[in-house]
Amino acid sequence: MAFSEYRKHPGQTLVMFLIALFLLVFLVIPVVKVIFVAFMDATTGEFTLVNFKDFFSTALFRESFWNSLYVGVMAVIVASLFSMPLAYFTSRFEFRGAVIIQSLGIIPLIMPPFVGAVAMMMLFGRNGSVNLLLEDWLGINIPFMEGLNGVIFVESLHYFPFILINLSAALHNIDRSMEESAQNLGCSGMRLFRRIVLPLSMPGYMAGASLVFLKVFDDLGTPLLLNVNNMLAPQAYLRIASIGIKDPMGYVISVILVIIALSSMWMAMRMLKGKEYATVQKGGGGLAKRRMRPWETVMAWVIILLIMTLVLAPHIGLTLLSFGTIWSFSIIPDGFTLNHFAAIFAETPEYMTNTVLYSAIAATIDVILGTAIAYLALRSKLIGRQWLDYTAMAAVAIPGLVIGIGYLRTFYSIQVPWMENQPLATWWIAIVIALSIRRLPYALRACTAALQQISVSLEESAENLGAGKFATIRKIVIPLMGGGILAGFVTSFATAAVELGMTLMLVSKNSDGPLAYGIYVYMQSAAGRGPGAALGIMAVVVVGLCTLISHIIIDRRQKKFGLGQAS
Amino acid sequence: MRNFRIFTAMALIVILMSAAPAAVMALDDKLVIVTSYPKDLTGAFKTAFEAAHPGITVEILQKKTSAAVKYIQETAQGNTSDLMWASAPDAFEVLKADGLLAKYSPQAPGIPEKIGSYPINDPDGYYIGFAGSGYGIMWNTRYLKRKKIPVPREWEDLKAAVYHDHVGMSAPSRSGTTHLTVETVLQGEGWNKGWALWKEMAGNFKMVTERSFGVPEGVNSGDFGIGIVIDFFGFSSQATGFPVEFVYPTVTTLVPANIAMIKNAPHPTAAQTFIEFLLSVEGQELLLDPAIRRLPVNPATYAKAPKEFPNPFTDKSIGAAVKFDVQLSKDRYNIVNSLFDVMITYRRADLAEAMKAIHAADAALAGKSNAQAQALVDEARALIAAMPITDADAKDDKFPGVFTSDVFKKRKKANAKVPPRQAEIEEQWDSFAKQNYAAAKAKAEQAKDML
């Protein structure tokens, strides 16, 4: 095989080359321009690994390392507890709540920075609404938001949709005939679930779970806002932001974050290896659904409402903040007003249009790249295809700040001729590309999981019937991947809309700023809390609407292809 | 084909979006300001300035101070920003040291040389003070009332057991003005006493916030009751309607907030016009706006101020107790930041536990006389206060190349002595602090058990 594969498939080779070039220019070079400091002796400027030795001999860093691991694992467990019942109810039963769950499930991801955390504090903080009520009634105070537990609580509420979306997509894709065969052979109930449904949904679950782990492991915002310093990501950020380029430790931590991220991906892949998840039949779509018995319906609703209240708590808090006048040390705000919304519509409508534009372009780039990379990685035999996958995934672990600085460093000297020779780094397109790089891993994992569930034999039949490679991809693979691509688009879009760290570095004029930036600007003053929260609500509404629209579009298209879901 | 269509659509969008703004731009009708200030402040000045000077459009670029410095450094080649407008004098010092600022001497009349005991303008003429601000204590009145906590007036008050877990502060390495507060107390009380005071106060901290605005935010929300903040955070929160109050302790420094012209500014005339506007009577009066609330540097402006508004030019109790030594502060800038982070920010939990144990022993000792137990508590306090380095050693130049080495400047001499790395030094300090806090806790518990 070896290099002859390149010659045999010029089309694939070209696509691979283009993607590799894109990743090289917009991910690898900017990042290397920043993190090479990690491998450099601070005084002599020579290559060294001594900085890594320093890392492991510092008690604070070791402690941070274990804390980050602990929080990551616990968040996956808690997030699984939230998402499994929801995914199960919606895909297993004829259930009216299904639509609500699927749409509300995405909303936690659209947690605007700063205001989201303030809202959580107002509700669950030491002197938040819940604890004030508990103190009045029972005289107790539960530290929901303190220390590592607070981080786990907030992160799992925030990121559990990754598992929910991917797991639902996987459950949906399970071939009903598998289940039926098992039933014919006398299997039912829990045993059927354990032996058939669970294993078959593993690719989706693992895709979601590994994303949750990764995100939590390198998430910066939540620990910072809860003022938990002794974790890796905040340590990296604090060192880079305060000590700056002179100190290599921040970059050493970034390198370690990347290594952990990649090895957890690799482990997730190893666990799936050697198993076949593909199913041939697609039209039947998903598990057999049955009606719930009345008491089951009641139980299901109780569980769902419980989870949903918890999950939507930040948004409930946000709504109160955005309509509230003064909210300080009380259960609800002192009064309500519409002034905050009036203020943002009068002052800064461009934040909303910018956000939709940037995130939509970024998410489109992501699903195109994600589909292409997944296809190359799973279907081609080109050498280096796995590296494409790994490189794209590495972006998940690179702090936004590092990407931001890297872009300034790499693209500031390149000028855009048709923009009055403005530097490329300060053109808003740079923000879009950086967003697409940052969110590519989400789309990629979703697309990979979707492709893993499609049997190669479907493509082979198409080709036997005379379809070319391109026609096969367009008419067979992409339609069948529809759900996964949608999941990828939605997660990329929604999370790109609230990205802050990198945006803060790259925005070069206020009129170019997206919502997250606008929220940041407002949230720097006492008077800005209300308008900031109102902008946060707008972020949720705008992204929610766009998500709904893309759902409808894809759904309609699937129906056209005769892939309409049976429900 | 679908993909192709999407691409075409995208390409069209890109072309349309990029063509639109290109038409509006021309020379020197624009002013680009990089600032860390909130919208309330910048918005008011932008509107007033544009009204006074029609034809100049002000473009505001909001970034946090550290990101703003980084942005100006990284974009120095082909600079597009005209002014840097922020509080922390040390951010301006960094830019000045990198040769990224341009000199300018303002013409505006009536501005004295000093506010409190701090010079208003940079002696070298690179940056210009336009408002004063000082650190103090802010508290949430509802919080203190409900928890039945007395109102603190001085730094010393915050050491008391009653404030345990109720205080918040930002770290000096994160915010330049916080650094000045730490330094002010160190200069006012002396190195050892000053640090002992900080650590006993920090034993009562609920958190050390990452952003300086995190402190007023926490107090406003009622997450913690008391915050160590810069005055305008207190004043503007109050003006917004939050149930909070603010006081200047005796030991505080008034520090000017600054503006500077960036080297090779693309619109120098507009930039100078803005600086003059800022210092003019009209500009200075804008600072009295309830949502802004900063102390004007022009004493005449105070005539128009509300009655409660503090006037540092007549009220000599504000910011006059300490004669602030700028040079000393500069000499140990990095060491103070690093020590605070290592001993307080990252070891806050250990420190809080130790102080809690000491408070408990104190309470048990109250009204009893037990020399042995008292001795143990004193030893515990001494362990908390202990510093890994002395006053004399705490100079950045005693640690050559540790905190200031620049990886891009290679050492010429191959046989030059290689200095220790910052991570190594900090690890030593960290284990010093950790052991002492643990030992202090053990001693305090031992003392309590005796009673």
Tell me the ipTM for this assembly. Answer: 0.73
Amino acid at residue number B123: P
pLDDT tens digits, residue range B221-259? 888 999 999 888 888 888 888 999 998 888 787 888 899
Contact B39 A419 (CB under 8 A): no
| Pairing between β-strand B114-115 and β-strand B118-119 as defined by DSSP bridges | antiparallel
Output B177 or A27, whichever has higher pLDDT. A27
Cβ of B71 and A505 within 8 Å?
yes
The answer to whether residues B333 and B176 touch, using CB atoms and an 8 Å cutoff, is: no
Give the pLDDT score at A34.
77
Angle, CA of B384, B387 and B389, to the nearest 5°:
170
Dump strand ranges (E) for A263-379. 290-291
pLDDT in tens, A401-433: 778 878 877 887 777 777 666 777 778 888 999
State how far the Cα of A83 lies from the Cα of A468, in Å rounded to an integer: 40
Phi–psi pair at A409, nearest 5 degrees? -70, -40
Domain ranges of chain A: 4-33+53-560
Note if the pTM is more than 0.80: no
| Domain B23-131+257-304 architecture | 3-Layer(aba) Sandwich (3.40)
Half-sphere exposure at residue A264, Cβ-oriented, CA atoms within 13 angstroms: 27
For A47-61, A339-353, A546-560, which range has the lowest pLDDT when averaged over its residues?
A: A546-560
Interchain CB distance below 8 Å, B221 and A526: no
Classify the C-alpha dihedral A515-A154-A406-B405 as positive or negative.
positive
CA B160, CA B356: separation in Å to the nearest integer? 11
The tokens describing A199, both together, are 């294993």
Name chain A contacts of B407, Cβ cutoff 8 Å.
Answer: 37, 40, 42, 45, 245-246, 248
Chain B residues with CB inside 8 Å of A413's CB? Answer: 77-78
Residue of A nearest to B213 (CA): A524
The more confident residue out of A99 and A431 is A431
CB pairs under 8 A between A and B: 225
Which is more confidently placed, A233 or A71?
Answer: A71
Nearest to A60 among B10, B221, B430 (CB): B430
Task: Assess whether pLDDT exceeds 90 at residue B168.
Answer: yes
The secondary structure of A377-445 as a DSSP string is: HHH---TTHHHHHHHHHHGGGS-HHHHHHHHHHHHSSSEEGGGTTEEGGGSHHHHHHHHHHHHHHHHHH
Burial of B43 (0-12, 13-18, 19+ CB in 10 A): middle
- Averaged pLDDT score across all residues of chain B: 83
Q: Are B211 and A114 in contact (CB under 8 A)?
A: no
Q: Which residue has the tokens 């892949």?
A: A269
Residue of B nearest to A512 (CA): B61
Lowest mean pLDDT, pick from A2-11, A237-246, B280-289: A237-246
**Are B418 and A510 an interchain contact pair (Cβ–Cβ within 8 Å)?**
no
For residues B138 and A510, which has the higher predicted lDDT (pLDDT)? B138
Contact A42 B407 (CB under 8 A): yes
CATH topology of domain A4-33+53-560: MetI-like fold (1.10.3720)
Nearest to B75 among A118, A244, A408 (CB): A408
| pLDDT level of residue B404 (50, 70, 90 thresholds) | low
Q: What is the pLDDT of residues A327-355, one digit of tens each?
A: 888 888 888 888 888 888 887 778 888 88
Taking only the tens place, the pLDDT of each residue in B273-325 is 999 999 998 899 999 887 788 889 988 888 888 877 788 888 777 776 777 77
pLDDT surpasses 80 at B411: no
Tokens 């600085």, located at residue: A405
Higher pLDDT, A454 or B189: B189
- Of B418, B363, B405, B130, residue with least CA distance to B257: B130
**Could you tell me the end-to-end alpha-carbon distance of chain B, in angstroms, rounded to an integer?**
85
Tell me the mean pLDDT in the region B84-101.
85
Model confidence over B338-373: pLDDT tens digits? 899 899 988 988 999 999 999 999 998 888 888 888
User: Which residues of A are less than 8 Å from B62 in CB distance?
Assistant: 510, 517, 520-521, 524
Candidates A159, A177, A170, A272; CA nearest to A214 is A159
Q: Do A42 and B421 touch (CB under 8 A)?
A: yes
Checking if the pLDDT of A524 tops 90, the result is no
Mean pLDDT, all residues of chain A: 80
CA distance B342 to chain A (A): 9
Provide the pLDDT for residue A8: 76
Shortest CA distance from B221: residue in chain A? A328
Which of the residues A34, A151, A525, A554 would you substitute to probe the B interface, choosing the one with the greatest number of B C-beta atoms within 10 Å?
A525
Asked if the Cβ–Cβ distance from A248 to B19 is below 8 Å, we say no
Domain ranges for chain B: 23-131+257-304, 332-451
More confident residue, A54 or B419: A54
If you average pLDDT over residues B414-420, what whole number do you get?
Answer: 56
Query: Is residue B23 over pLDDT 50?
Result: no
Determine the average pLDDT of the residues in A457-474: 81
Q: Searching chain B, which residue's CA lies closest to the CA of residue A58? A: B427
Share of residues in chain A with pLDDT > 70 (%): 89
